[in-house]
Structure 1
């Protein structure tokens, strides 16, 4: 099988068009490896190949699955330098784990005086730290990603949400002198206990949904199945819903405008992700439960 690989744009390109010889039963991955062999910088994860407006998916075994035959033209797009999704997640969650201790323990240098932390501040510090430690451990031991890599330039964009909003912005607002012991930052024990109880329930529920999703995908595969069980009977993305509840508990505990702003941004972003996943589930699985919402039970 002889194929022509051409760029998607009309711009001049010193590498393309490229003629590739493959066996008749070649796979999409065989084609990507052949391109990589000819042009070393375009490793398979960096390539996006299309034919008749269809993206060629590595998960499909043969080029013939797309009706591709000898002398056909495949369009190529360079996705840019890539980085593993797992690495991106680890970097995202590392930011708050570094930033919050700096603000909590370094009050003399940040606020100009030593802060005697209120119980609310101390509890919030440990809740935030535990949340992101949990996320790091899930990234290493629980998550199985449907895509291996993403463009390396997205690290900065993806990290802003965590490093700035739930890192610098939240830490500065919560651990300051205005919420220290003996100020308006004091909370009744029952109030703190109620917020912590909701947070613990939401975090454990979030973990359960992540484990459920992991168990749907055998190691080394990209298999997609309809998720069922705890939370999934009501919404397509209960992991997002439980995370929203956990951050809502922190917002109520701190009564901080910074926590509320972060929560609003988090809800907005997770709503976008949830609706996208919900639509994908419904288009991919004809027997997908019709009574499920995308993110919030009985609402959205």
Structure 2
């Protein structure tokens, strides 16, 4: 068990260090996908790319849950609160890999991005699932763990913002179009990266609900990886559109 806890700790700190390094790298150049992808890159269709890169974060925890249920897991038993939290994690990736990938009208995704994202999602899916099922001894309940209710509410708010913002962006294009238009409505009235803001809120809520190093590490990595993306999109919108709303911020309403 101590060996398992050490592995979870090392992997969590790797996420934190990796997130900080990625943040520094993004201050110098944009990640090469979406509107910033180089034309000569090998790509896969957008829906297929999103499915392949995101589905491991759904399937790996699901496999861990099934193994736990059949008694082949090596952990201490699954509490209801921890199981629900893992299902919350899986809910996001069910949406992202199954629903979003089917509906998206985005640009083709570079193959190397798909590969790296799939590796990350596999490792993170294992980290979150393994911690909750095998390493966490505390039973989380609404009465004994007030952070569970607060974090779950925050997660629900973030998920709602994320899905609603995705829908706004998707409806800016007709099928097969790759044009860019000014998004309006919802949180886009306040920030250019409303979809990114929603996802960051989601995982901050998840971190509060779980109250663990692995959950915090993932929330931190998420903020470091897609926070700069919101700022890059904000600058791109300002360059593309002379009438882009001047009051709109990049990621945090009224602040940044």
Equivalent residues in 2 for 1:148-163 (5 A)? 149-163=108-122
SS of the residue aligned with 1:175?
helix
Moved over 6 A (4+): none
Higher-Rg structure is 1
Kindly indicate whether residue 172 of structure 2 is the aligned counterpart of residue 211 of structure 1: no
SS of the residue aligned with 2:77?
coil
C-alpha RMSD over aligned residues? 2.1
Taking the aligned partners of 2:191 and 2:42, their CA distance within structure 1 comes to: 35
CA contact (8 A) 2:162 2:194 kept: yes
CA contact (8 A) 2:191 2:251 kept: yes
Larger strand fraction of residues: 1
Which is worse superposed, 183-192 or 151-160?
A: 183-192
In structure 2, relative to structure 1, the CA distance for the partners of 1:209 and 1:169 (3 Å cut) is same
Any stretches of 5+ residues in structure 1 without a counterpart? Answer: 1-76
Counterpart in the other structure of 1:123: 84
Counterpart in the other structure of 2:223: 267
Kindly indicate whether residue 186 of structure 2 is the aligned counterpart of residue 186 of structure 1: no
Taking the aligned partners of 2:109 and 2:186, their CA distance within structure 1 comes to: 30
Counterpart in the other structure of 2:131: 173
Taking the aligned partners of 1:134 and 1:230, their CA distance within structure 2 comes to: 19
Counterpart in the other structure of 2:101: 139
For residues 178-206 of structure 1, what are the alpha-carbon distances to aligned partners after superposition, in whole Å with 9 as ceiling and x for unaligned?
42xxx424333454333323222221221
When normalised by structure 2's length, the TM-score is 0.76
How many Å apart are 1:110 and its aligned residue? 4.3
Counterpart in the other structure of 1:72: none
Q: Tell me which of the two structures has the higher relative contact order, counting C-alpha pairs closer than 8 angstroms and 6 or more residues apart.
A: 2
Counterpart in the other structure of 1:64: none
Q: How many residues align?
A: 214
Taking the aligned partners of 2:194 and 2:39, their CA distance within structure 1 comes to: 35
How many Å apart are 1:99 and its aligned residue? 0.5
How many Å apart are 1:151 and its aligned residue? 3.3
Taking the aligned partners of 1:153 and 1:270, their CA distance within structure 2 comes to: 18
Taking the aligned partners of 1:80 and 1:252, their CA distance within structure 2 comes to: 39
CA contact (8 A) 1:226 1:288 kept: yes
How many Å apart are 1:270 and its aligned residue? 0.5
How many Å apart are 1:80 and its aligned residue? 5.1
Taking the aligned partners of 1:259 and 1:206, their CA distance within structure 2 comes to: 19
SS of the residue aligned with 2:164?
helix
CA contact (8 A) 1:195 1:253 kept: yes
Kindly indicate whether residue 249 of structure 2 is the aligned counterpart of residue 288 of structure 1: no
Counterpart in the other structure of 1:164: 123
CA contact (8 A) 1:79 1:151 kept: no
Taking the aligned partners of 1:275 and 1:83, their CA distance within structure 2 comes to: 26
Counterpart in the other structure of 2:49: 88
Taking the aligned partners of 2:207 and 2:66, their CA distance within structure 1 comes to: 21
Larger helix fraction of residues: 2
Taking the aligned partners of 2:88 and 2:39, their CA distance within structure 1 comes to: 41
How many Å apart are 1:97 and its aligned residue? 1.4
CA contact (8 A) 2:151 2:204 kept: no
